[in-house]
Structure formats: C-alpha cells, structure tokens
C-alpha cells in the first residue's frame, strides 16, 4: 500500500511498489546498500478484500479467486513489481444475491480486466 496507485475502477484499486527496498532501509549498520525485498524478479500479486465491503466470507473468497485468476492470465504483461489489488467498494447485494453467482463473477472479472488494462496504458 506504500507504493503508488496505478489504476482504479468503480470497485477496485491497483497499487504497485518496486521490489527493491527504499534507501532508508540499509542492509546493515554503516552501509549504504539497499536491502532487496524479494529475491525473484517477477510480478507479485496480492489481494486485499476487506470485510467492510464484502461481508460474507464466501463473497470475499470468490472475489479473491477472481483476482488471482485474472492476474495469472495477465502476469506476463505486468512489470516486475509487487502489486496489490484492493476492493474499495462493495458490490450491490440486491443485484448480486448469490456470492457465487455467474453474474457476480462476470462483473468482477470484467472490472479486473479493465483495471489491469488501465495499468498497462
């Protein structure tokens, strides 16, 4: 979350942070080298789905699975950085009655594709 906001949609925000640690975190006393946050240089994806916006665990898990599925398909296009997809607004429970409905999955997946497309632009 300390990284920059790369893109946002109606329900999601994509944050990105470089994989190298900041110069404020030296490797040891008296050194001016930076500490490497991740040893592997590839895109890392995290999902943050707060209970505030998705009350039921089955809804949170379904949204989280969609985030990981879409990001896995688009991972080759993402830069080597740590990415966090954060749910920032809830989906209307009147419109999406079931947490595992096809309509909700399609809405989440479509919005995630839009989120990652905006990040690539």
Boundaries of domain holding 78: 4-21+33-120
CATH number of the domain to which 102 belongs: 3.30.230.10
- Asked whether residue 76 is assigned to any structural domain, the reply reads yes
Rg, the chain, Cα only: 17
- Asked whether residue 28 is assigned to any structural domain, the reply reads no
- Asked whether residue 13 is assigned to any structural domain, the reply reads yes
Helices 57-74, 102-120: crossing angle, 10 deg rounding: 40
Residue pointed to by tokens 């990415």: 83
How confident is the model over 30-50, as pLDDT tens digits? 555 556 655 677 888 999 999
**60 vs 48: CA distance, rounded Å:** 9
- Asked whether residue 26 is assigned to any structural domain, the reply reads no
**52 vs 64: CA distance, rounded Å:** 15
Q: Tally the domains of the chain.
A: 1
pTM, to two decimals? 0.80
**78 vs 91: CA distance, rounded Å:** 26
How confident is the model over 90-119, as pLDDT tens digits? 998 888 888 888 999 999 999 999 999 988
- Asked whether residue 27 is assigned to any structural domain, the reply reads no
């Amino acid at each position: 979350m300390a990284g920059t906001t790369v893109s946002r949609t109606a329900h999601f925000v994509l944050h990105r942070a470089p994989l190298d640690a900041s110069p404020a975190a030296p490797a040891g006393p008296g050194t001016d080298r930076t500490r490497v946050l991740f040893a592997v240089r590839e895109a890392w994806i995290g999902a943050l789905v707060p209970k505030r916006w998705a009350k039921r665990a089955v809804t949170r898990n379904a949204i989280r699975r969609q985030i990981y599925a879409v990001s896995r398909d688009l991972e080759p296009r993402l830069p080597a950085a740590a990415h966090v997809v954060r749910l920032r607004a809830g989906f209307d429970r009147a419109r999406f009655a079931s947490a595992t409905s096809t309509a909700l999955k399609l809405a989440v997946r479509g919005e995630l594709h839009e989120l990652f497309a905006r990040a690539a632009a």
